Structure 1
Amino acid sequence: MRGAGFLAIWSDVEAHDLTDYRHWLTREHTTERVTTRGFLASRVFRAARDDINRFFILYELEAPEVLDGEAYLARLNAPTPWSQRIMPKLGNFIRGGGVTVARAGRGEGATIVALRVETLPAAPQELAEMLVACDGVAAVQIGATDEARTSVRTTEKGMRKEEGFFAGLLLVEGLDVGSLQGALSQLRTIAPDVLSRASEAEIYQGMFAIDARIADGA
């Protein structure tokens, strides 16, 4: 987990578009993003379920100001032909970015829960440290979404049918599913108000990752 800002995106993809979408992500889109000034890394996850192709992408940013900065907006207002083909096909699209308000743990877990929350914890760093103390939890990150920076109208935004929004992100990274279930049980005990106004606690598995150094050939 790097930088002071984040951008989180969820979307669903139809089965007949899956190959094109995965190639777009790994062969063009994430590289384009992490070579944009202020982007540090991209991690792509896939929901661990058989009934739908759901993806979660986490971009790590130097600062939340990157979201409405000149470099990123230039990308959003000049989508590639491949992006123009993919964007209208993304269903249940939810996007939000802002400032990372708490971070605890070391490294990254391959199995995660990425919760969209409407109530941010009163003491986010304390909550992150309590969750990361759970067995098998590698890292916890809490972010507050900046609605103004996330909502800037762009060419790319106009290509999507709809776009959901959320107040904050609670990301728990574990070594396995059991570890995440234990952390969620702890969360229900210590912060029921946060969990009561959160998205479904779906499990995601790591699929692809790239950072700026790799993309630049360093």
Structure 2
Amino acid sequence: MRGSGFLAIWSDVAAQDLTDYRHWLTREHTAERVTTKGFLASRVFCTTRDDINRFFILYELETPEVLDGEAYLARLNAPTPWSQRIMPRLGNFMRGGGAMLVRAGRGEGATILALRIEKLPGNPMTLAEALVACDGVAAVQIGATDEARTSVPTTEKGMRKEEGFFSGLLLIEALDGASLQAALQQARTIAPDILGRASEPEVYQTMFTLDARIADFG
């Protein structure tokens, strides 16, 4: 939980592309990103479902301005050959970034819900504090997406078949799946207007993390 900005990305990967994607992500792409000015860390998660290879990536940024800053746009407009091979193969691609409005709790949970929300809570901290008080919940974050900064046309954006958009991010991190489901039920009780417009509450588990301070891309 570093910085005041975030970038959240979801995508599906076909079975035949899974090995190539995982190697690209962990051996090149995340290192390339976190060595870009303003990027602080990369956290990669995979869904616990057996019927699909779905991934969620959370990039932690110094500020939201990183999203349309010179350094990051230069990366997006000069994709590597490996990225050029992978990007067109990503399905159900969703991408959005902006300001992390509130954080509650300490540390990071191994099991998470990463919900795309179309309506932001009137008092984000009240919701975050209520959820982080649930048994087994390590942290809660709520972010607001900046459409203008996220929607800048780039070479990489043009390589993808699709790119959905969303208004905000609700991230709940827990110690285990049972705690996560209990927190989700609490969220539905205290904020039905928010959760009623959220994406499917899929459970993700940590797959790979990389901090800018230890990244070695060279």
Q: TM-score, normalised by structure 2?
A: 0.99
Unaligned runs of 5+ in 1: none
Q: CA deviation digits over 1:191-210, x for unaligned, max 9?
A: 00000000000000000000
Alignment of 1:89-168 (within 5 A): 89-168=89-168
- Paired with 1:192 and 1:108, the residues of 2 have a C-alpha distance of 25
- Paired with 1:36 and 1:124, the residues of 2 have a C-alpha distance of 30
- Aligned partner of 2:53 in structure 1 is 53
Q: CA deviation digits over 1:59-100, x for unaligned, max 9?
A: 000000000000000000000000000000000000000000
Q: Confirm or deny that 1:84 pairs with 2:87.
A: no
- Over the aligned positions, Cα root-mean-square deviation in angstroms equals 0.7
**Alignment-mate amino acid for residue 124 of structure 2:** P
Q: What SS is found at the alignment partner of 2:213?
A: helix
Q: TM-score, normalised by structure 1?
A: 0.99
Identity %: 82
Q: What SS is found at the alignment partner of 1:51?
A: coil
Quote the offset at 1:189 in angstroms. Answer: 1.0
Quote the offset at 1:126 in angstroms. Answer: 1.1
Quote the offset at 1:216 in angstroms. Answer: 4.5
**Alignment-mate amino acid for residue 188 of structure 1:** R
- Aligned partner of 2:3 in structure 1 is 3
Q: CA deviation digits over 1:11-69, x for unaligned, max 9?
A: 00000000000000000000000000000000000000011000000000000000000
Unaligned runs of 5+ in 2: none
- Paired with 1:199 and 1:101, the residues of 2 have a C-alpha distance of 19
Q: What SS is found at the alignment partner of 1:108?
A: coil
**Alignment-mate amino acid for residue 156 of structure 1:** E
Q: What SS is found at the alignment partner of 1:215?
A: coil
What is the aligned length?
Answer: 217
